[in-house]
Amino acid sequence: MKIIMLGAPGAGKGTQAKMIAAQYGIPHISTGDMFRANIKNGTKLGEEAKSYMDQGLLVPDELTVRILLDRVARDDCQNGYVLDGFPRTIPQAEVLDQALTKQGDAIDFAIDIEVQDEAIVKRMSGRRACPSCGATYHIEHVPPKEEGVCDVCKSKLVLRDDDKPETVEKRLRVYHEQTQPLIDYYAARNILQKVDGDVSTQEVFQAILAILG
């Protein structure tokens, strides 16, 4: 079972990807984790990726797909995997499809978690993080015991730059321009499934389980 998670930043696709991975005993693969692992282990692919990242450049699609194929060739991916954060654009999806087709393989499901932009801005701007221990909270859904103070280490909580409304709105614009077209791409291939992400995490998960069977 090979699954791609789609959805805007803050839609909850990372959380759902982890839950799917745990439910089916398959790996949750994010591109960020892949890059970090290859760089940390000093692999040839990692060194190649690092050469771009050190210059502040995006890792080319072709190299990202090579790193991904290297990852999914491992034994733990025999029963499938959940991709989180890739592909982000049509060219990336095409490169991935071509590479999988050469191996006689294909993606089974592309799951799009749909959440309205206004709800995402509200959701993300309510996040608070501890700069000391990394604990995360939400002022509505997972508030700290004492307002503005970390339960774990008592440090002052902060609103990360990534979660500020103006930053979230900018990220959403980029998402709609670059990643939204993937929804049509996978719909045309009859593997797209849409899920309402404006409900609880558990309700989203149950809807996904009903799709995956």
- Which residue in 71, 123, 127, 128 is the catalytic one? 127
- Which residue in 18, 50, 66, 88 is the catalytic one? 88
Q: Has 173 been annotated as catalytic?
A: no
- Which residue in 66, 164, 171, 194 is the catalytic one? 171
Helix (H, G, I), strand (E, B) or coil at 176: helix
- Which residue in 2, 13, 71, 123 is the catalytic one? 13
Tokens of 154: 């008592």
Q: Has 128 been annotated as catalytic?
A: no
- Which residue in 160, 170, 173, 189 is the catalytic one? 160
Tokens of 182: 């993937």
Q: Has 189 been annotated as catalytic?
A: no
Place of tokens 């990360």: 160
Tokens of 113: 């978690």
Q: Give me the helices (H) in the chain, please.
A: 13-24, 31-40, 44-53, 61-72, 90-102, 117-125, 165-174, 181-188, 201-212
Catalytic residues: 13, 88, 127, 160, 171
